[in-house]
Amino acid sequence: MLALLSLLAGVAAHGAPPSPPLSPSLSLLGDALTLQNGFVRMVFNLTRFSVDDLRGRFFGDGDFSASPNLAGDVGSTPPGTRRGAISIVTSSGLGFNYSLSDVDRASPLPFTVISNTSTSASFTVAATDNYGHVSATLSFGLDAASPRRLWVNSSASAAGAFSASLVALSLHLAAPSAQGWYARGARQGMRMGGGYVSAASPLQRFYALGSGAQGGCEVLLGAAGTPPSSYLQTGNRAFGVEGGLGLTLWGSPAPFDQWVGGFDTAPTTAINAGAQAPALSLQVFPNDFAAPPSAVPATLPPGVNMTDVASILIAAHGSAVAALHSYDFSPEVRAAPCLAHDNTQCYAPLYNFYVRRWCLRAPPLVGVAYP
């Protein structure tokens, strides 16, 4: 990133330096708890235990009026399971799914403010699913030291004995193209096969990208622990899926490395009452552009224009980087000419997110325009 900024410094447009990032804040209106600063805005629904609104602002000026809501549609996948952007979802092994966010509670859940100062704002909230199986505590926070980052901590336990094929911390996002970086390599998909694909290789980084107005969201694992396995949601609308990520708490997202419609009919695992799931911590970076923003500093060096940085990041991550397939094509480390879509290695009808009307075709490698 420093090399990129140095390169841009010589060609960037001149302009006034950006305003300092807005301070983090936490506010309550009705059952909506809003956590925000200049770069990130998150609204947590205390009645539903769900992140109903998640927005990023690359320029850090706090103007989210045109920023897309990256939270997955309430009422979407799995059918009837309302969960917003972040929740804990259980695949029962009996052909249905449920989460901690699929009911409207009679009254808002209590929450605890951890901090609400000019340098940090954070809170914690706990809930149990409607079946009395999983109890979880989620914590969210923003801090001035890394203002683009929303940190999320989760802890879960079994409120009672039950069986399930999979219990996962789930991120459900409106941006449909999902990219996972693993110890083994990279994998990308958009509306592929059944919509889900799992991996046993340790996850290192995730991001979901959308076209233009759909923005993007990057996720890094924190220091709390590494889940034993994970899965991508690759945005297959036939199954009600948009882009997202699942991190295993109990059970297994088997079969691995295959596109499937879900994990609700996989073999079940017996979970004893009182069992503790692995504690997880995430660093979430929402963005109003289709690029991961974690490496971009809040304030750029003199002479470097934030718009130029955004343009190069969108070009790189919306097309070339997002077409890496080294995980599934190991050891030859394949890179597709454009995004994987509908079980192909090119995003039909031959366009990509960066320039919708153009795509390199092979053979020959030429630009072909589409209306």
CATH code, domain with 200: 2.70.98
User: What is the average per-residue pLDDT within 43-48?
Assistant: 94
Does one domain contain both 271 and 349? no
- Is the model's pLDDT at 343 over the cut of 70? no
Tens-place pLDDT, residues 282-326: 999 999 988 889 999 998 888 888 888 888 887 777 655 555 667
Tens-place pLDDT, residues 219-230: 998 876 677 789
302 part of a folded domain: no
- Is the model's pLDDT at 198 over the cut of 80? yes
10 part of a folded domain: no
In one letter, which amino acid is 156?
A
Does one domain contain both 43 and 188? yes
Locate 14 and state its tokens: 């001149």
Does one domain contain both 181 and 255? yes
pLDDT reported for residue 365: 30
Last residue of a domain, one of 224, 256, 287: 287
More confident of the two residues 102 and 155: 155
Query: Residue 371: which pLDDT band, with cuts at 50, 70 and 90?
Result: very low
Q: Domains in the chain: how many in total?
A: 2
pLDDT reported for residue 72: 77
More confident of the two residues 135 and 368: 135
Does one domain contain both 274 and 330? no
Those residues with Cβ within 8 angstroms of residue 154's Cβ, 6 or more apart along the chain or in another chain: 88, 136, 137, 138, 139, 169, 279, 280, 281, 282
pLDDT reported for residue 239: 54
301 part of a folded domain: no
- Is the model's pLDDT at 56 over the cut of 50? yes
Model's pTM, two decimal places?
Answer: 0.84
Last residue of a domain, one of 255, 287, 319: 287
- % of the chain surpassing 70 pLDDT: 73
Query: Residue 141: which pLDDT band, with cuts at 50, 70 and 90?
Result: very high
Domain membership of residue 239 as a residue range: 20-287
Tens-place pLDDT, residues 265-275: 778 899 999 99
pLDDT reported for residue 224: 64
280-287: strand order across its sheet: 111-116, 120-128, 134-143, 150-158, 280-287, 216-221, 203-209, 177-182, 186-189
pLDDT reported for residue 291: 83
- Is the model's pLDDT at 364 over the cut of 60? no
276 part of a folded domain: yes
Closest CA to 140 of 158, 115, 159: 115
Does one domain contain both 335 and 258? no
76 part of a folded domain: yes
pLDDT reported for residue 334: 58
Does one domain contain both 321 and 239? no
Q: What beta strand segments (E) does 64-119 contain?
A: 86-91, 97-99, 111-116
- Is the model's pLDDT at 81 over the cut of 80? no
Last residue of a domain, one of 287, 322, 355: 287
32 part of a folded domain: yes
Report the sign of the C-alpha dihedral through residues 342, 257, 78, 206, in that order: negative
Does one domain contain both 221 and 117? yes
- Is the model's pLDDT at 195 over the cut of 90? no
Report the sign of the C-alpha dihedral through residues 142, 144, 147, 153, in that order: negative
12 part of a folded domain: no
Does one domain contain both 203 and 243? yes
Does one domain contain both 231 and 316? no
Q: What is the residue-averaged pLDDT of the chain? A: 78
- % of the chain surpassing 90 pLDDT: 39
Closest CA to 24 of 114, 86, 111: 114
Does one domain contain both 100 and 214? yes
- Is the model's pLDDT at 361 over the cut of 60? no
Does one domain contain both 110 and 249? yes
Query: Residue 359: which pLDDT band, with cuts at 50, 70 and 90?
Result: very low
Instruction: Report which DSSP code applies to 23.
Output: P
Does one domain contain both 71 and 195? yes
147 part of a folded domain: yes
